[in-house]
Amino acid sequence: MRRLLPLLTLLTLLTWVGGAQAKLRWGADAEGGAPYVFHDPDDPKKVIGFEVDLARELGRVLGEPVEFVQYEYASLLVGLDRGDLDLAMNGLEVTPDRAGKARLSHPYYTYRLQLVARADDPACTSLAMCAGPIATLGDTAAERLLDARALAKKVYEGQVEPYRDLGLRRVGAVLLDLPIAEYYARRDPLLRFVDDPSLPKGHYAIAMRKADEALAQRIDRAIDQLASEGALRKVLERWGLWNADQETKLEVGKETDTRWTFRRWFPLLLSGALTTVLLSVASMALAVLLALPLAAARTFGPRPLRALATAYVELFRGVPVLLVLFFLYYGLPTLGVRLSAWAAAVIGFGLNYAAYEAEIYRAALGAVPTGQWEAAASLGMSRALTFRRIVLPQAVRVALPPMTSDFVALFKDTSLVSVIAVVELTKQYQILAKSSLRYLEIGLATAALYLAISLPLGLLSRRLEARWSRGHA
């Protein structure tokens, strides 16, 4: 007990110190988050936005500072549960799903979904009339609406890229909350706001832990006070967000009901798995196709060809595939080459993995002793015949195991393509888990799907290896 005493004192002290700084930790994502919360272009160390102003007003009314914590948008509710945050305010729409997971405050803003099309595309007069996939952000009311209407969608992580790809004709239209459209698309002469009265409205609210009911009631009162004082209106006006919608009270909870049942998320997960498989197979096929001439050039080619092939291999082994994907998808349009996301993904992985496969083939060819070439030559076999009948079969056997493990690696690497808006298995998991908060069950299902593909692959390779090693000297 005597030993415990100093420890207890220390603990009490720490608690006291922690308690003294009773700041409210407010989580939001400032990464490209205009006009909600974002880094001031003139002073990037500063975060600005209408929610920053609102947080300041809340702090004033509560008599307690509200401190900004950078937190990934899709993880905000998890951040509350983990205790990293006290408040999450970041354009969170009121949905039954969210209301089930967190305590939502009174709304502070009434949003509407804004459809944006290209100025030179007169056909797009409503959501149903727009051609091609509709761009949106993951885990938003807009995405859920597209799902509910079974429209082809393309899900982005940032707010700039959807409008950019719209200008590049990669998508037919963009559906996002009005504040985003106001900030990113209003002044773009290539783009046009489409008035579609069928699009729903909804509310933004502050999310808190259900256990923090006392805090929640203080926040509710503070929001009501800011609304009646007119301070809320001032903040919204400052950001050009005040409109008639804000004056009419909407019935809370009118949004489409979306319960995350197994039957709803599993098919989506399966489609992600299919994307992953197709992407891996197509990329590997391209990689093998490119790697064969590369390895041949490095092994048998004349000096300049060999140098070129070596340069290729070193380049692609030294550059992250993520960079290659970004370059192909976002960089090439500057040069007038517009690749679809799928083409960019397959070409990117194909180019990258070709470098690794070429090295495998080169090593495999080198592993066949020169004595084999000489024995074949002494029998009158030409170089081409020797390569095809004697060297290649032996090299394939050497190359197969590393090729299989490369394929499994590629299979997992495909999860990188979410950066160019292809939704494969891992991305689908993130989207589903974050919107349903069922990290565990969906995660296990995702892992099971990955294993269901990679395990048989490993088995197959071991079988082939065993079969072909019958002839090993």
Partner 1 sequence: MIALRAVKKTFAERTVLAGVSLAVEPGEIVTITGPSGAGKSTLLRCINGLAGFDEGEIVVGPHTIRPSADPLRAAAAARTLLGMVFQDFQLFPHLTARANVAEAPIHVRGVERRAALARADELLASVGLAGHGDAYPRTLSGGQKQRVAIARALAMEPEALLCDEVTSALDDEAQSEVLDVLARLAADGMTLVLVTHQRSVVERLAAREVVLRDGALGAR
The residue ranges that bind partner 1 (CB under 8 A) are: 369, 371-372, 374-381, 385, 389-390, 393-394, 397, 468, 470-473
**Measured between alpha carbons, how far is 447 from 140 in angstroms, rounded to an integer?**
25
Positive/negative CA dihedral, 436, 439, 445, 446: positive
User: Which segments of 127-241 does DSSP mark as H helices, in order?
Assistant: 141-148, 160-167, 178-184, 213-229, 231-238
Indicate the residue among 292 and 381 with the shorter CB distance to partner 1.
381
Contact 275, 425 (CB under 8 A): yes
- The distance of closest approach from Cβ of residue 395 to partner 1 in the complex, given in angstroms and rounded to an integer, is 10
Indicate the residue among 158 and 369 with the shorter CB distance to partner 1.
369
Q: What is the DSSP letter of 463?
A: H
Looking at residue 356, its amino acid is Y
Residues whose CB falls within 8 Å of the CB of residue 128, separated by 6 or more in sequence, listed in order? 149, 151
- The distance of closest approach from Cβ of residue 468 to partner 1 in the complex, given in angstroms and rounded to an integer, is 7
What SS3 class is residue 115? strand
Indicate the residue among 381 and 453 with the shorter CB distance to partner 1.
381
Indicate the residue among 377 and 452 with the shorter CB distance to partner 1.
377
- The distance of closest approach from Cβ of residue 398 to partner 1 in the complex, given in angstroms and rounded to an integer, is 11
- The distance of closest approach from Cβ of residue 377 to partner 1 in the complex, given in angstroms and rounded to an integer, is 6
Indicate the residue among 238 and 388 with the shorter CB distance to partner 1.
388
- The distance of closest approach from Cβ of residue 369 to partner 1 in the complex, given in angstroms and rounded to an integer, is 8
Indicate the residue among 197 and 371 with the shorter CB distance to partner 1.
371
Q: Residue 158's closest CA among 178, 176, 133?
A: 176
- The distance of closest approach from Cβ of residue 401 to partner 1 in the complex, given in angstroms and rounded to an integer, is 16
Side-chain-side CA neighbours of residue 164 (13 Å): 14
Q: Residue 203's closest CA among 237, 235, 249?
A: 249
Indicate the residue among 326 and 373 with the shorter CB distance to partner 1.
373
- The distance of closest approach from Cβ of residue 278 to partner 1 in the complex, given in angstroms and rounded to an integer, is 33
Contact 198, 257 (CB under 8 A): no
Q: Residue 345's closest CA among 406, 418, 405, 274?
A: 418
**Measured between alpha carbons, how far is 187 from 128 in angstroms, rounded to an integer?**
25
